Amino acid sequence: MKKQNSIYTLLIALLCFVSSCDYLGVSDQLAGGLQNTEQVFDNVSYTKRWYANVFAGIPDYSGINSVNVGAFKNPWTGMCDELVVGYGNSSKYNNSDRNAANMGFHRYGDCYKYIRQANIFLQKAHPIMTTGTQGDQLLEDELTQMKANVRFMRAFYHYLLFEQYGPIILVKDKIYNATEDQDVPRNTVDEVIEYIDSELTAVASELTQEPIFEDKDYRAWPTKGVALAVRAKLWLYAASPLLNGGYREALSVTNPDGTRLFPDYDAGKWEKALAACKDFIDYAEAGRYELYKEYKDDNGAVIDPDKSVYNLFQKYTHEIIWATANNDWGGMNGDAFDRRIAPRCEKNGLGSTGVTQELVDAFYMKDGFPVSATAYLPQSTLYQEEGYGTYKDQNDNFSKKYTNVTVSNRYLNREPRFYNTVFFNGRQWPVSCNQVLFYNGGNSGVQEGQATLTGYMLFKRFNRSVSLTNPGVASQFRPSIIFRLADFYLMYAEAANEVNPNDARVLKYLNLVRERAGLPDIETLNPAIRGNQELQRAAIQRERQIELATEGQRYFDVRRWMIADKNGEGRQNGYVHGMNVRGESNDKEDFNRIVEASQIVFNRKMYLYPMPDSEMRKTKNLVQNPGW
């Protein structure tokens, strides 16, 4: 265990080092001047360094609004209807009709680099039984575990490519050399699904069989649960309309030899998605994972939804299936998440991450009804847009001076996830308890420089002890979550609904997520929803929008559902809205008008990413996605 732990520790230390290197340069650097890979893999230190590099593409969804946001962070939340990001490039990609030559945030090149590194490791790494100047031995059992982890990562990188581009080139275990013909065609959607599924199924039994919660040196490692989770994601994506016959423009895309890349609709894929979700949920519910909950009493009888939805992001809980070893929270100094969601009135605050009105209005009221009528629920009687009322946050160990403040009535009587996600005008900031004013002329308005463009700020995942004001702390660890159980409960409900809307699991797993948020079972609000596929589908989609807000899911959800170009709650073409931050100076009434905040340009080609133009220019057999 001591030897194996040194590998885990080395990985964490090396992730930052290798993640930004050019691929061929990485190979050279990892070789350390040695003449060939055989010499590399005769050396324990360089073998472990090569191994660590394979993990450099693990996503970090804490990276939202900083200069270094890239495809393996979370630009996706600024590229849909969740946020208007005032710094970095993600929201800028919404404002114009992009083409294959200028589209950013490609995973393409890096994923294939990591796949190649994985294949070289799998083929050439071997036990090292002698010791010398380079240190420890590399024993057979250690190497077996390392190779299982690398095999999983190879499958995962194929999945990340599939999620972004649809049908891709399957490298599998091939290692191309510089002189070899690499002009190969894309594989079909079904071939990609079959390969990734077979790899995940095979490797699941070789990975660590139980979740890793306690040992921080191991948490970033793939386990059986992670493999089952990715497999469930794979099949849900494969069954959804985008890649299951619903993208009509794609049905005519063929390789040069006439092979169709996109399949016709196959209802059986929903059956497979449901089975894959069940495999994961059965594994999870056998005492391995659980929704994180805190309680108002010692008996655990009454859930405290406010503490539950806040603290599930503040520590490593048993809801987490996979999280990164690194994150971009960063505290209140430098170019990091915490600083960019802190208001201008706070020391070092930049306040440039604005929540859209569309996301604000998605949250339910505390009675479980929406702020506007939907197909499945009427408008809440608690909601008011006009006038003002009294609001007060709850004091805690760091914020002891919260007082009653006057805010717009539209922010009163909301569900706990709203208050955990959205920071609105007039609310008091943690620790300092300063009242934050986003209107023109206010202490955090646009006249102060970089500030929210919507009149709201993202609050989710911020740690309320982080402040440069005493008694705050400059930074605080939080896990950067890749997968968590609530996501998979909603996936399970979705797949069950598509197979059989009368399946009891549809409402069971939807309601488990609502319960933790303090909301009543949805069928108690409208009994007619039970068994109605369209109404249940709409409720599940809204629940995903709320529960997983800004976690890197919405961008891909509205695309796989193919609702991004349709009128309705998923529409991505047009303007997102917010409060009137550029209204009359110090005029609260003028501020409280909903106005256009930023434009999103979306057309049907944007359902899938383009194959990179640089790749298209190099090959004859690589065909482009529709419309690009």
- The Cβ-side half-sphere exposure at 303, using a 13 Å CA radius, reads 19
Q: pLDDT band for position 27 (50/70/90)?
A: low
Is pLDDT above 90 for 608?
Answer: yes
Going by C-alpha positions, the residue among 80, 4, 17 that lies closest to residue 551 is: 80
Question: What b/e string do you get for 307-323 counting C-beta neighbours within 10 Å, with b at 16 or more?
Answer: bbbbebbbebbbbbbbb
CB 83 within 8 A of CB 550: yes
Is residue 595 within 8 A of residue 580, CB to CB? The reply is yes
Query: Check: CATH 1.25.40.390 for 58-95+288-560+565-600?
Result: yes
Predicted local distance difference test score (pLDDT) of residue 314? 95
Residues 430-463: tens digit of each pLDDT: 999 999 999 999 999 987 667 899 999 999 999 9
pLDDT in tens, 179-188: 677 889 999 9
Question: Average pLDDT of 388-412?
Answer: 93
pLDDT of 474 strictly over 90: no
Q: SS3 of 75, please?
A: helix
Cα separation, 71 vs 75, whole angstroms: 7
Does residue 34 register a pLDDT over 80? no
pLDDT-derived band at 321, boundaries 50, 70, 90: very high
Band of residue 16 on the pLDDT scale cut at 50, 70, 90:
very low
Strand, helix or coil at 594?
A: strand
Percentage of the chain exceeding pLDDT 90: 76
Any idea which of 263-272, 506-515, 584-593 has the lowest mean pLDDT? Answer: 584-593
Residues 6+ away with beta carbon under 8 Å from 165: 108, 608, 609, 611, 625
Q: Which helix (H) or strand (E) holds 321?
A: strand 320-324
Predicted confidence (pLDDT) per residue in 528-574, tens digit: 999 999 999 999 999 999 999 999 999 999 999 999 999 988 999 99
Mean pLDDT of 314-336: 85
- Per-position b or e across 82-120, b if 16+ CB within 10 A of its CB: bbbbbbbebbebbeeebebeeeebbbbebbbbbbbbbbb
CA distance 573 to 325: 36
Average pLDDT, the chain: 91
DSSP structure class, residue 365: B
Higher pLDDT, 450 or 482: 482
Query: What are the tens digits of pLDDT across the range 345-367?
Result: 999 898 889 999 999 999 999 99
Q: Is 119 helix (H, G, I), strand (E, B) or coil?
A: helix
* CATH fold of 28-57+96-130+146-287+608-615: 1.25.40
Side-chain-side CA neighbours of 354 within 13 Å: the count stands at: 31
Kind and range of the H or E element at 408? strand 405-408
pLDDT of residue 594: 98
Q: Could you report the per-residue pLDDT of 91-102, keeping only the tens digit for each?
A: 677 777 789 999
pLDDT tens column, 485-529: 999 999 999 999 999 999 999 999 999 999 999 999 999 999 999
- Adjacent-strand bridge partners of 481: 323
What's the pLDDT score for residue 35? 56
**Helix H or strand E segment including 457:** strand 456-458
- Token pair for 152: 């999983």
At which residue do the structure tokens 């805690």 appear? 396
- CATH 1.25.40.390 residue ranges of the chain are 28-57+96-130+146-287+608-615, 58-95+288-560+565-600
Arithmetic mean of pLDDT, 382-409: 94
Lowest-pLDDT choice from 84-88, 136-140, 282-286: 84-88
Q: What residue type is assigned to position 85 of the chain?
A: V
CA gap 317, 30 in Å, rounded: 35
- Per-residue pLDDT, 260: 99
The structure tokens listed for 181 are 């013909």
Q: 223 forms bridges with which residues in the sheet? A: 208
